[in-house]
Amino acid sequence: MPSAFEEVLKEKKEFVWKEIEKYLSDLNFFPENPEIAEKYKDLLSFHREITSAYPERRGKYIRPTLLLLTAEAMGAQEKTALKTAAAMQTSEDWILIHDDFEDDSLQRRGAPALHRIYGKELAINAGDSLHVLMWKMLWDNTKVLGPKKAEEVACEFYQMLKRTTFGQTVEIKWAKENKTELENEDIFLILDGKTSYYTIAGPMRLGAIIGNADKNELKKLYFFGQLLGRCFQIKDDLLDLTSDFKGLKKQKGSDIIEGKRTLMLMHLLKAAKKKDKEKLKVILEKNKEEKTEKEVLKVIEMMKSYGSLSYAQNIAENLAEEAKEYFDNELLFLENNPARKNLRLAVDFVLHRDY
């Protein structure tokens, strides 16, 4: 049975998707100059098909939902935040296309990754096309929010994506270097870029900007997002090792194959006995293509036996509790219900989700 927050996600998804669909339809429209000749219309259709593939698969819509709820909790009308929410979701889709190519992922949302269907060049170009649509959505905010507020939203978007790409740089660099001596602080550096700001703090701050938040309120939202975002990514990393994401994912241990640095892996490297550590390092030194399913399952089994999974789960639970406490005591400016109540439900959803 869906949780209360999942029902909220479903409702907001339909609302935001209709807006995204309008922009995807615009992919086939060109004005008189530069009009596309009739004989090339099949190419236009193909372009829309490949560009629309990830948006049409539709994810959880956590980010646009948090954005809309925060705007509502601060007294803004939902419709004023719609284009920003659509841009937020569209940003996830183009980032995932690029991400899947970088990681050479097999699947996305229950279907083959885009580059495995169309090849890397067309997949990257589809991501670029969605990137263009995202900025068009943000530009169109000038009609809804006015030039000044639209600029504030765009600047926040820039800061959020700038931090996200830095986090991705660090993660890829350390994986390529096969870093084995990392502390929790180092892992949080990655998490804060690719998840804390992008998945929680950024969307909430965007909604708050639309709701006329001041600098102190935005700062508090970042701190809350840091707590819940770290919890979100640790949970995501745990699910990668233990779940099939409700049948949407065939391969367990993708992070191990890709060499990603996680709390569980770093804990295992410190906790493992000498013989097991040597075996682990041999596996980690292999590239993606060389790692076997048996080796990946062996690493997961070692994480279980050395308590690495429970270690990460405990940290995630503590972060969720801190996030709840901070929300209750410091985010009192999010006062309008039911939006405030639904935002509070998001904490439990992040911790207890199974996909």
Local structure of residue 106 (DSSP, 8 states): S
Q: What is the DSSP string of 293-334?
A: HHHHHHHHHHHHHTTHHHHHHHHHHHHHHHHHHHHHHH-TT-
Given a cut of 70, whether residue 308 has pLDDT beyond it is yes
Per-residue pLDDT band for 163 (boundaries 50, 70, 90) equals: very high
Residues 140 and 83: beta-carbon distance below 8 Å: yes
Average pLDDT, the chain: 93
Three-state secondary-structure class, residue 2: coil
Q: How many CB atoms lie within 10 A of CB 205?
A: 27
pLDDT, position 29: 79
Look up the CATH number of domain 4-352: 1.10.600.10
Average pLDDT over every residue of 25-31 = 83
Per-residue pLDDT band for 251 (boundaries 50, 70, 90) equals: low
Q: How far is CA 111 from CA 20, 131, 140, 245, 247, in A?
A: 21, 22, 32, 13, 11
Report the candidate in 173, 172, 138, 168 with the shortest Cα–Cα distance to residue 156: 138
Given a cut of 80, whether residue 2 has pLDDT beyond it is no
Residues 264 and 238: beta-carbon distance below 8 Å: yes
Cα 86 to Cα 74: distance, rounded to the nearest angstrom: 19
| Strand ranges, E, within the chain | 107-108, 111-112
Per-residue pLDDT band for 38 (boundaries 50, 70, 90) equals: confident
Per-residue pLDDT band for 287 (boundaries 50, 70, 90) equals: confident
Lowest mean pLDDT among 7-11, 60-64, 239-243: 239-243
Global pTM? 0.94
Local structure of residue 76 (DSSP, 8 states): -
Q: Peptide bond before 147: cis, by omega within 30 degrees of 0?
A: no
Describe the crossing of helices 82-103 and 41-57 by its angle, rounded to 10 degrees. Answer: 90
For the chain, domain boundaries: 4-352
Q: Peptide bond before 34: cis, by omega within 30 degrees of 0?
A: yes
Q: How many CB atoms lie within 10 A of CB 314?
A: 12
